[in-house]
């Protein structure tokens, strides 16, 4: 009887000894796994997905050449210099603006370059004759100058930035009717050009985001011209600081 029980217990004991090894994926008789051994393939996490040209998490910020295009609207504020003394918004309406930021990033935090800007719109309510349909009127504003932009979180998916610059501002109005025309241009220094915004990195080559741009300038000189007559340039007798506030979208190459 005892021999029969011993024969029945031997297979059961062997099964109990083999169960832990099989649960750990070991072959019978193989040494136990080391603590620093890699996990089985089925337990390892899958490699991160990547797309051709897509933004990889933690991709480094760009250094070197950079180009940005800013599209938006500009709204006048402040006072126009004499002789057209009064609110600037009486002389000029809002404008559609196109700006270029061209330069380079010597480091991932700093952009150094120049801005070129143009704005196109209508004259303000002061020129009521422009709304009669008989006289055609338009206004243009041009800006140029150096600027510096600073990235706050370069290399991140969303990079807030601030910027500042100085420059030169030129604003002109044109009126034409029945084959005759009149042009008046006022221009002067731009004391401050303050900006802020954020770039959303679509991929390593392109970023897009909102921006706010406020420029403070002063018209110091005026030039009047008409066909068949000499242009007359005069220094404005009474000068006043005015502002243009721009709001729109920025598209940046190599963010």
Structural domains in the chain?
A: 70-253 (2.40.160.20)
Average pLDDT over residues 208-225: 95
Write down the mean pLDDT value for the chain. Answer: 83
How far, CA to CA in Å, does 173 sit from each of 48, 55, 180, 186, 240?
57, 46, 14, 9, 19
What's residue 225's pLDDT?
Answer: 85
What's residue 52's pLDDT?
Answer: 42
To 10 degrees, the CA torsion angle through 32, 35, 36, 42? 70
Tens-digit pLDDT profile for residues 128-149: 888 877 789 999 999 999 999 9
- Lowest average pLDDT, out of 55-64, 144-153, 223-232, 239-248, goes to 55-64
């Amino acid at each position: 009887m005892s021999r029969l029980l011993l024969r029945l217990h031997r297979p059961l004991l062997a099964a109990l000894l083999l169960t832990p090894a099989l649960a750990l994926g070991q072959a019978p008789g193989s040494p136990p796994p080391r603590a620093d051994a890699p996990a089985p393939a089925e337990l390892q996490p899958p490699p991160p997905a990547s797309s051709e040209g897509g933004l990889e998490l933690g991709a480094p910020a760009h250094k070197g050449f950079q180009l940005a295009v800013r599209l938006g609207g500009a709204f006048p504020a402040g006072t126009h210099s004499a002789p057209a003394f009064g609110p600037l918004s009486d002389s000029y309406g809002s404008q559609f603006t196109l700006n270029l930021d061209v330069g380079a990033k010597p480091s991932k935090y700093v952009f150094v370059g120049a801005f070129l800007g143009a704005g196109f719109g209508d004259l303000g309510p002061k020129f009521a004759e422009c709304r009669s349909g008989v006289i055609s009127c338009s206004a243009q504003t041009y800006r140029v100058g150096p600027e510096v932009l600073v990235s706050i979180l370069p290399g991140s998916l969303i990079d807030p930035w601030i910027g500042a610059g100085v420059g030169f501002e030129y604003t002109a109005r044109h009126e034409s009717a029945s084959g005759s025309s009149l042009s008046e241009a006022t221009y002067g220094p731009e004391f401050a050009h303050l900006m802020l915004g954020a770039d959303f990195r679509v991929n390593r080559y392109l970023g897009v985001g909102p921006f706010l741009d406020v420029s403070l300038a002063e018209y110091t000189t005026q030039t009047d011209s008409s066909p068949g007559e000499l242009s007359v340039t005069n220094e404005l007798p009474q000068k006043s600081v005015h502002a243009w506030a721009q709001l729109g979208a920025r598209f940046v190459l190599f963010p």
